[in-house]
Amino acid sequence: MKIGLQQIITSITALLVAIVVVVFIYENPARLGEEPLIVRALVLSIAITAALVAVYPLNPLFADRPATYAGIVCMPALIPGFIFYMLLLPGKAGQGFEAEQLASSLISDRSSNGIIEVGFRYPIYTPTISVKNRELFTRHVNVFLRMADSNGGDTLFRAVRFNVPGNSLSVESTVQGMLSENRRYLFNPLEIPPDKSLEGQVVFIISNLEDGTAFNDALVSAYQAQFEIRDPENGQLLLEFPLQHI
């Protein structure tokens, strides 16, 4: 079968489109997870169609019969994607979140190695957590740390935000700027794709413990310490899970 120049150009173009779409799907699960299921199915269909168009000149059974190739090969190949997104995926999706603490670490003046400049009076707690979104769509959540002592006192710490409001320099904005270059650190709000887990170190500035009280000592004496996952729009509590002393 003789392959013309126009077919070669068409195949290369289609192959590039398929590659770009596949890379987009792989690199942007959270962005794609915000779209309706029909849109996700269509995006996948573009990649499948482009790939089939790219290999069309290599199929001698349909030489010079592009319409037949489209009807017999391309169209049926789109059906599984729509079945998956429109029927199977909603059936297996769950509700809510799963979360756990994986490790515990602390940044202080003595352990910072220059990450946090001396003069930040309080420690910076950076526990490693894993949060899984069991739902059909991308969710944004805020992470909090709540500590309660035996006297009934209750202290709530909000993890450092990615976008700190206001133009003035603050401890929160400084810490965010210093740590955001390292991708292992996570900042509020967390963006979690559907049916995916996000793992990393959230950052808490422990700035309202009593003077002279070390954070580790406060954890030991705490009657209860737990993480809270909340909706960033309305503050609704979505999940709580215990702080583990690792």
Q: How far apart are CA 226 and CA 243, in angstroms?
A: 5
Q: In what order do the strands lie in the sheet with 204-205?
A: 106-107, 124-125, 204-205
Cα angle 246, 157, 98 (rounded to 5 degrees) comes to 60
Residue 133 clears pLDDT 60, i.e. is over it: yes
For residue 191, what is the enclosing H or E element? strand 190-192
Residue 87 has pLDDT above 60, yes or no: yes
Angle at 214 between CA 210 and CA 220, to 5 degrees: 105
Place of tokens 């603490």: 101
Task: Say if pTM beats, i.e. exceeds, 0.85.
Answer: no
Boundaries of every domain in the chain = 5-92, 97-242
Pick the closest to residue 12 from 42, 57, 43, 44 (CA basis).
57
Q: What's the token pair of residue 60?
A: 């001698």
The arithmetic mean of pLDDT across residues 136-154, rounded, is: 86
Q: Rounded to whole angstroms, how far apart are CA atoms 93 and 139?
A: 14
**Distance from CA of residue 13 to its chain's centroid?**
31
Which carries the bigger pLDDT value, residue 172 or residue 167?
172
pLDDT of residue 73: 86
Radius of gyration for the alpha carbons in the chain, expressed in angstroms and rounded: 25
Angle CA 224–160–217, to nearest 5: 35
Q: What is the pLDDT of residue 211?
A: 47
Q: What is the pLDDT of residue 93?
A: 80
Is the Cβ–Cβ distance between 206 and 157 less than 8 Å? yes
65 vs 234 pLDDT, higher one = 234
Q: Which pLDDT tens digit goes with each residue over 202-218? A: 998 876 655 445 666 66
How many whole angstroms separate alpha carbon 161 and alpha carbon 171?
11
Residue 16, both tokens = 């590039």
Categorize the per-residue pLDDT at 72 as very low, low, confident or very high, splitting at 50, 70 and 90.
confident
CB 168 within 8 A of CB 91: no
* Backbone CA torsion sign across 181, 204, 190, 225: positive
Tokens 């003046």 sit on residue: 109
- What are the C-alpha distances in Å from 183 to residues 35, 131, 176, 177? 25, 16, 12, 12
Angle of helix 5-27 relative to helix 37-55, nearest 10 degrees, comes to 150
DSSP state of 85: I
**CA–CA gap between residue 30 and residue 176 (Å, rounded):** 22
CATH 2.60.40.10 fits 97-242, yes or no: yes
